[in-house]
Amino acid sequence: MRVRSVMSKLTIFLLLLFCLQKQQLQSQSQEIICAGEVAGGPFSGGRSYSSCIPLPYLDAILFWTYYPSSAALDVAYRARQSPAGWVAWAINPTGRGMVGANAFLAFPDAATGAATVITTQLPRHNLQPSDIRDEALTFAVYVREAEYSADGGYYTIYATVELPGNRTTQNTVWQASTTFAGGLPFNHPFDRDHLSSFASLDFLTGELA
């Protein structure tokens, strides 16, 4: 009797120890992923983020840190793409999908070939080349930067924005393509993945919906 109770206590203790270790490993691996030890290599400037989530389409991951006191969101959007193509990440403060999206577009500068980024509002379904121009967004943009990492072939868009309305759940949209008009990104494939690449994202829990 006595031996059995000691044994079962030991079993419970070992189980607890195992669970704790597993939890620690999981949170460690999450930290490592979010610190930029991901496909494409570390982020430039030693940047790191508190959260990250792989997005369900177009080979992309979003990393972010939310600063409640300033209602600011720091993001790194990393997506696989050929160096001659473009990628985009957007917040849509007024609806789901593309129409109304406030977008960051990363692409090779037509003159230098270096990765560059512009911000543009996407006002309608039937976009025209003139709709794509570098302009202010409906919310403040404090930082915008783009880089291309040849290691695996990834664009990264770095942005710091004022989270519209300080709302921690936002409609997000992302895109990728290889077509241009007048040196600026224009048009994308209309297959399932390129038409499904939007989701509402809860920046507190990391939940996509």
Burial of residue 90 (CB within 10 Å: 0-12, 13-18, 19+) is buried
Report in angstroms how near the CB of residue 159 gets to ligand NAG at its nearest.
18
Report in angstroms how near the CB of residue 203 gets to ligand NAG at its nearest.
11
91's tokens: 């917040």
Which CB, 69 or 112, lies closer to ligand NAG? 69
Q: For the chain, how are helix, strand and coil distributed in percent, rounded to 5? A: 25, 40, 40
Report in angstroms how near the CB of residue 202 gets to ligand NAG at its nearest.
13
Which CB, 69 or 130, lies closer to ligand NAG? 69
Please tell me what DSSP assigns to residue 165: G
172's tokens: 């997000």
Tell me, residue by residue from 43 to 82, as one string, x for binding to ligand NAG by CB under 6 A and - for no binding. Answer: -------------------------xxxx-----------
- For the CA atoms of 22, 26, 32, 33, the dihedral, rounded to the nearest 10 degrees, stands at 150
Does residue 93 contact residue 100 with C-beta atoms inside 8 Å?
A: yes
Tell me, residue by residue from 153 to 182, as one string, x for binding to ligand NAG by CB under 6 A and - for no binding. Answer: -------------x----------------
Report in angstroms how near the CB of residue 169 gets to ligand NAG at its nearest.
12
Q: Which residues bind ligand NAG (CB under 6 A)?
A: 68-71, 166
